[in-house]
Amino acid sequence: MSNSSKTNDSKVSKKDKFSDTYKDTAGAGSVLSTVSGPSTNQPPKTLGSDDPVKQRLLDKTLGGQELAEKISSNLNKPHEYGEASRTPLTGAIVEPTSPAAGSSTSSEIIASPKTGEGILFPGSNPTVDSLDRVRVDSSNQPLTTNQGVRIADNQHSLKIGLRGPTALEDFILREKITHFDHERIPERVVHARGSAAHGYFESYRALTEFTTAAPFSAEGKRTPVFTRFSTVAGERGSADTVRDVRGFAVKFYTDQGNWDLVGNNIPVFFIQDAMKFPDLVHSVKPEPHHAMPQASSAHDTFWDFVSLMPESTHMLLWQMSDRAIPRSYRTMQGFGVHTFRLVNAEGQSVFCKFHWTPLAGTHSLVWDEAAKIIGADPDFHRRDLWEAIEAGAFPEYELGLQIFTEDTANTFPFDVLDPTKLVPEELVPITPVGKMVLNRNTDNFFAETEQVAFCTAHVVPGIDFSNDPLLQGRIHSYVDTQISRLGGANFHEIPINSPVAQVHNNQRDGMHRQAINRGRVNYEPNSLAGGCPFQAGMSGYKSYPEPIAEDKVRGNPELFSDHYSQARLFWQSQSPAEQIHIINAFRFELTRVQTPAIRARVLSLLVNVNELLAGSVADGLGIELPPAMPLASNLPIPTYPPSPALSLLTRPGTTGIATRRVALLISNGIDQKCVSTLYEDLLKDGAVPRLVGTRLGKVTTADGAALDIEITLEAGPSVLYDGVIIVQGDGSLQHNADALDFVRQQYRHCKPIYSIGGGILLAVAGVPSTFADGTPDPAVIVDQEKIQDASLTQFKNALAGHRSFEREKDPCPV
């Protein structure tokens, strides 16, 4: 190759002869290698040919060197110490002159259907963003394996002869069975049973005077949300209408990252310190020796534990109230429970309590009904939420804040860090700040509802924690449990969990990693990636610098020792009907308890709340009232005036009869016009009428027409409706036990009943149309012949009012 051998030139003269070319390529071999290189910064101009990959490799190398040169030291270091560290600097960065500088490989420009065109969107992480990127639609597609290979026969295994054994090589069968074998993941350790929907939160106004949190940055701003409602104790397949606290967890996908408000439908909790959470949950879950009962607190271990933990008394009152048997996820309040902090752009902080109020009102079931629904439709709440959204009747909840300063908090007769206490609305009113609308059901329950991972640690700038010791423990618990529930450290990349805000950091690897991070840099500070991704400084999340000068101790503040005054506040704020329900719930639960000493211990707690309550429960248990449980301290006991807002009945809602389910009980001989008029009228108001009869098929109307029954008394029993209209036909229903049971239960569960064509079915069923004192029951309406407008209006008013509790008697005569 070389012609130098033909001359007598020295080595120098040989070099001179090729000097131009050499200058252009000197060091190219090092660029083409991955180890070492020349000591000079004189880069080669070419790697020997104009191959585009080689050119890109050169650009990449030169670009990287240029970035490293420009960052000669870590300029932020002096600001990391002392007072200066309170205001962290934004990371120093350098813009690359070529996009190749930050690449992993010069071959990224080689396009394929899999790698893509190599087109770069600088600074972009597309594993976040909308769910569209992962929605799968199989229309007009053949079946394939998980490797994309088309499956010719999805009916048979590969066998050695038609009657022979299956071949081990049948990778199609093995893939299918293997995937099936691993379909289940661990259920949530608590809140395993739940249902969820997508929607949005819209801010009524900017709250920038209090917080920088993204959802509240401007009037009318919409933030996407995913909201999951749940029960706590039951397993994933347990029934919806059990007596239990309901979870109310909202994930806000804000433009500053995800914020999860992981609350319950009850504003207080059983315990004051995270240390006790495993004990609480162990006690309420099925007893470990025989795994009973399912999804119920009515057993010895629960009442044993809580009666030794008097701080749970306030929560127990709520749990025994109708709050724990909601009519629907759409008709229950939600609470953040803990005191949180809001922080504004100036770094000033106020305390805050979060409240969700359903526009459909707060409505509950009655216990006998809830228990029967467990058999009639264990999916009652899941179905209700799904059906409402499918019908376009989008559930709405107003978000309200109780905002108060630390100084104000210090004037309260309780400690705002104690999660067994609420802040009465009379002390701090609730300010409505926005509205959540749930307007889209999931595509896939598992991918979305089951895999969603809420976490109290998910906060955005402007939201911070208080020192509530229960909240502090929760901050740890959620991610920890989700690592095992969702199989590793990368569950934040599961599409339902990924934020819409960009994610850029140096976390790498782990099970099921989705993001393919470009570049060689996975640490900070760096110069080789121009300092990126860089620390955000004051535009990033800053914890509120709360001053603390305290001893390191285990213990509670003294004010935590008042266990009864807010339980009493709750009791005194309930309507008479609600108080009776609480008494009955205690009776039911404690009757199922088998250990008399535990029953007595619970009663001794209740004596501290209210003598009538304790006495009535004791009466139902057939035992003498024990002495009050000794108080935990001698601190003065605060008194509170009743708080009407704590009664469910003070929030009827604004949506009228929309989504209420009405049974039209019909048989042969009914007046067709009457039925169709009612049906259309209810539909017009947004209610859901169903024609209910003894069997599917047609009934013949008085004028010989035919109407289709939609559901039978058996498949759609009374407990599944909010009201009934009986249209008198040939009289056959009054000889039918199912129909008689139907109207009796409607009556017993305090639901509105409207009978047209006389009240014979009611009379045979023994359903009275007056209260015991002879005054008419406004929710039992009888028209002798045709529909009277006034009667229909009266029925609809009663339906909108939900229940007629004045009717209740103990024992119920019907």
The residue type of 505 is: N
Candidate segments 18-26, 217-225, 478-486, 746-754, binder of ligand HEM by CB under 6 A = 478-486
* Comparison of 483 and 760: residue with beta carbon closer to ligand HEM: 483
Residue 465's DSSP bridge partners are 340
* Comparison of 277 and 412: residue with beta carbon closer to ligand HEM: 277
DSSP one-letter code for 450: I
Give the per-residue contact string, 448-467, with ligand HEM (x = CB under 6 A; - = no): ----xxx-------------
Supply φ then ψ for residue 136, to 5 degrees. -115, 130
Segment 323 to 362, residues that bind ligand HEM, using CB under 6 A: 337
* Comparison of 190 and 765: residue with beta carbon closer to ligand HEM: 190
Closest CA to 245 of 217, 268, 211, 225: 268
Catalytic residue among 264, 584, 608, 610: 264
The span from the CA of 14 to the CA of 190, in Å, is 80
Q: Is 262 a residue that touches ligand HEM (CB under 6 A)?
A: yes
The residue type of 757 is: G
Candidate segments 189-197, 355-363, 566-574, 648-656, binder of ligand HEM by CB under 6 A = 189-197
- DSSP-based helix, strand, coil % in the chain, nearest 5: 35, 15, 50
Candidate segments 119-127, 171-179, 188-196, 379-387, binder of ligand HEM by CB under 6 A = 188-196
* Comparison of 189 and 683: residue with beta carbon closer to ligand HEM: 189
Least CB distance from residue 263 to ligand HEM, whole Å? 5
* Comparison of 482 and 610: residue with beta carbon closer to ligand HEM: 482
Least CB distance from residue 259 to ligand HEM, whole Å? 14
In terms of Cβ atoms closer than 10 Å to its own Cβ (0-12, 13-18, 19+), residue 241 is: buried
Q: Is 194 a residue that touches ligand HEM (CB under 6 A)?
A: yes
Which are the contacts of 388, defined by CB distance < 8 A and separation ≥ 6? Answer: 328, 330, 394, 395, 659
The span from the CA of 461 to the CA of 212, in Å, is 6
* Comparison of 23 and 476: residue with beta carbon closer to ligand HEM: 476
* Comparison of 191 and 651: residue with beta carbon closer to ligand HEM: 191
How many residues appear in the chain?
Answer: 814
Least CB distance from residue 450 to ligand HEM, whole Å? 9
The span from the CA of 473 to the CA of 476, in Å, is 6
Radius of gyration, alpha carbons of the chain: 34
Candidate segments 235-243, 262-270, 313-321, 745-753, binder of ligand HEM by CB under 6 A = 262-270
Q: Which of 254, 264, 608, 667 binds ligand HEM (CB under 6 A)?
A: 264
Least CB distance from residue 337 to ligand HEM, whole Å? 4
Q: 10 Å Cβ neighbour count for 552? A: 4
Q: Is 445 a residue that touches ligand HEM (CB under 6 A)?
A: no
Candidate segments 85-93, 184-192, 514-522, 562-570, binder of ligand HEM by CB under 6 A = 184-192
Asked if 248 and 332 count as a contact pair (C-beta separation under 8 A), the reply is yes
DSSP one-letter code for 538: G
- Helix 596-607 with 611-621: angle, nearest 10 deg: 160
Strands lying side by side in the sheet with 780-783: 711-712, 688-693, 661-665, 723-727, 753-756, 780-783
Least CB distance from residue 132 to ligand HEM, whole Å? 23
Tokens of 779: 């929710």
* Comparison of 96 and 247: residue with beta carbon closer to ligand HEM: 247
The span from the CA of 809 to the CA of 814, in Å, is 10
Catalytic residue among 76, 191, 338, 492: 191
Segment 536 to 575, residues that bind ligand HEM, using CB under 6 A: none
Q: Which of 481, 502, 556, 732 binds ligand HEM (CB under 6 A)?
A: 481
* Comparison of 188 and 601: residue with beta carbon closer to ligand HEM: 188
Asked if 647 and 323 count as a contact pair (C-beta separation under 8 A), the reply is no
- How remote is the C-alpha of 212 from its chain's centroid? 23
The span from the CA of 689 to the CA of 710, in Å, is 10
* Comparison of 262 and 678: residue with beta carbon closer to ligand HEM: 262
Which are the contacts of 473, defined by CB distance < 8 A and separation ≥ 6? Answer: 273, 274, 275, 277
Cis, bond preceding 44 (omega within 30 deg of 0)? no
Applying CB under 6 A, the site for ligand HEM has a residue count of 27
Q: Is 190 a residue that touches ligand HEM (CB under 6 A)?
A: yes
Least CB distance from residue 247 to ligand HEM, whole Å? 3
Q: Is 474 a residue that touches ligand HEM (CB under 6 A)?
A: yes
Catalytic (active site) residue 355: no
Least CB distance from residue 316 to ligand HEM, whole Å? 15
Least CB distance from residue 268 to ligand HEM, whole Å? 9
The span from the CA of 740 to the CA of 277, in Å, is 47
Supply φ then ψ for residue 159, to 5 degrees. -120, 155
CB-based burial, 570-603: b 16+ in 10 Å, e otherwise: bbbbbeebbbbbbbbbbbebbeebeeeebbbbbb
Residue nearest to ligand HEM (CB): 247
* Comparison of 227 and 659: residue with beta carbon closer to ligand HEM: 227
* Comparison of 125 and 449: residue with beta carbon closer to ligand HEM: 449
Beta strand extents in 359-430 (DSSP E only): 396-404
Asked if 361 and 319 count as a contact pair (C-beta separation under 8 A), the reply is no
Candidate segments 106-114, 126-134, 476-484, 658-666, binder of ligand HEM by CB under 6 A = 476-484
Tokens of 79: 């600001």
Q: Is 677 a residue that touches ligand HEM (CB under 6 A)?
A: no
Least CB distance from residue 428 to ligand HEM, whole Å? 19
Q: Which of 27, 286, 413, 473 binds ligand HEM (CB under 6 A)?
A: 473
Give the per-residue contact string, 267-306, with ligand HEM (x = CB under 6 A; - = no): --x----x--x-----------------------------
Segment 220 to 239, residues that bind ligand HEM, using CB under 6 A: 228, 230
Candidate segments 64-72, 446-454, 714-722, 805-813, binder of ligand HEM by CB under 6 A = 446-454
The span from the CA of 688 to the CA of 662, in Å, is 6
* Comparison of 510 and 540: residue with beta carbon closer to ligand HEM: 510
Q: Is 485 a residue that touches ligand HEM (CB under 6 A)?
A: yes
Catalytic (active site) residue 264: yes
Q: Which of 44, 247, 326, 757 binds ligand HEM (CB under 6 A)?
A: 247
Candidate segments 259-267, 286-294, 559-567, 792-800, binder of ligand HEM by CB under 6 A = 259-267
Dihedral angle computed from the Cα positions of residues 646, 647, 649 and 654, in that order, rounded to the nearest 10 degrees: 10
Least CB distance from residue 274 to ligand HEM, whole Å? 4
> Are β-strands 753-756 and 222-231 bridged in parallel, bridged antiparallel, or unpaired?
unpaired
Closest CA to 67 of 108, 103, 120: 103
Q: Which of 102, 215, 263, 462 binds ligand HEM (CB under 6 A)?
A: 263
3-state SS of 293-316?
Answer: CCCCCCCHHHHHHHHCCHHHHHHH
The span from the CA of 334 to the CA of 341, in Å, is 18
Least CB distance from residue 814 to ligand HEM, whole Å? 38
Closest CA to 221 of 193, 254, 246: 254
Least CB distance from residue 596 to ligand HEM, whole Å? 31
H or E element: which one contains 653? none
Widest pairwise Cα distance in the chain: 132
Segment 75 to 114, residues that bind ligand HEM, using CB under 6 A: none
> Which residues are tagged catalytic?
191, 264
Instruction: Give me the residues that bind ligand HEM (CB under 6 A), please.
Output: 188-191, 194, 228, 230, 247, 249, 262-264, 269, 274, 277, 337, 452-454, 470, 473-474, 477-478, 481-482, 485
